[in-house]
Structures are given as C-alpha cells and as structure tokens.
Amino acid sequence: MDWNELLDRHGPSLLLYARQWTTCHADAEEAVQNGFVRVWRSHGADAPVPLLFAAVKRAAQDLQRAGARRAAREAKAAEAMYEPDSIFARNGHDPDRARLLEEALRQLPEEQREVVILKLWGELTFKQIAESLEIPPNTAASRYRYALDMLRRSLANEPRV
C-alpha cells in the first residue's frame, strides 16, 4: 500500500479527529500532515492505524499549544461573528439535522468525543482505540457507551427529518 491509499482510507477520519484540538480546518489539515508524514517515515506501509491517530492527535495538540495565545486573541476579536466551520461535509444530509448532530457531538466531553470519532469514523475496534489512547479497552468501551447515552438524551427532543 502506498501513502496515497492509506491517506484515502483514513484521511477524512484523521482530519475529523484532529479537528477536536484545532481551531480551524486549516490547522487540522496541518496536524494530519505532520502526524501522517511522521508515521509514514518511521513505519511506511506497515503503519498501525491506532498509531496514525495517536500521531495526529499529538500533532494537533502541539499546534494547539503553539497557537493557543494567537487563537485566544483572534477568538476574542471575532467573538461576535464567530461561527465554527463545519467538521462534516454537508452533501446529502439535511443541513439542520446535521448541524444538531454536530453540535451534540461538540458538546461531549473530549475523552468521550475522541472515542466516538475513533469508533464511528476511524472504524477502530475498542482494542485499537485502547492502544491509540493508551487506556484499557474496557475504559474505551464505557466511554463510548456514556457518549451514546448523552447523545441520545441531547437529541431526544430534537425533530428528526
């Protein structure tokens, strides 16, 4: 497998994953670039997928730390008109419902949200999630269950199209 195939397969979910720690789409792309390149150089085609997610998370957190001061300044300046850019493609989905789902996902605690993203879009098993996050598999599974419960509750009263 060459890097294009690996990126085709995991690029969008890596981007979604990185988006949790970055303030904009461009920073998330940079995090994916940094993490992906680092893992590909060290492991090549044998790169384990959990490691790929872990490397992108580290790169995103590095960017977050580096840009925290700048981001805070910009966010304050643009507070009035700030609307976070969507982390999902809008095609083929009811835009209002998609916005609700995305907002509900954003409201999750970080440790639950990252498990949901790794499970649903990264298509990792709980064992792989546990490897990536360096937590026990049971913890990964329980975080996922808590997250789904929370999402169900927050979306229960919202209209479904």
Partner 1 sequence: MNHEFDPIEQELKSLRPRDLSERARARIRHELAPAPPSRWPWWLALGAAASVIVLLLSLSGAARRTVPSPSVKTDAPPPSVIVARQYDGVVWLEHEGPYRRVRYHVARANATGPRAEVIVLQKASLD
Residue 66 beta carbon to partner 1: minimum distance, rounded to whole angstroms: 17
Comparison of 66 and 77: residue with beta carbon closer to partner 1: 66
- How far is the C-alpha of 28 from the C-alpha of 131, rounded, in Å? 22
What Cα–Cα distance (Å) separates residue 129 from each residue in 34, 101, 134, 154?
21, 22, 8, 25
Each residue 66-95 as x (binds partner 1 by CB under 8 A) or -, in order, gives --------------------xxxx-xxx--
Both tokens of 121, joined, read 């879009």
By CB under 8 A, residue 33 contacts partner 1 = yes
Helix or strand holding residue 126 (H, E):
helix 126-133
| Separation between Cα atoms, residue 11 and residue 139, nearest integer Å | 26
**Contacting partner 1 (CB under 8 A), which of 40, 51, 64, 137?**
40
Asked if 140 is part of the footprint of partner 1 (rule: CB under 8 A), the reply reads: no
Q: Judged by CB under 8 A, which stretch of 35-43, 53-61, 69-77, 127-135 contacts partner 1?
A: 35-43
Binding characters for partner 1, 3-22, by CB under 8 A (x = yes) = x---x---xxx-xx------
Q: Are 91 and 53 in contact (CB under 8 A)?
A: no
Backbone angles phi, psi at 78, to 5 degrees: -105, 15
Length of the chain: 161
Instruction: Please identify which residue in 52, 54, 115, 116 interacts with partner 1, judged by CB under 8 A.
Output: 116
Q: How many residues bind partner 1 (CB under 8 A)?
A: 35
Spatial contact of 36 and 56, defined as CB atoms under 8 Å apart: yes
Give contact residues for partner 1 (rule: CB under 8 A). Answer: 3, 7, 11-13, 15-16, 25, 29-30, 32-33, 36-37, 40-41, 86-89, 91-93, 98, 101-102, 105, 116, 120-121, 145, 148, 151-152, 155
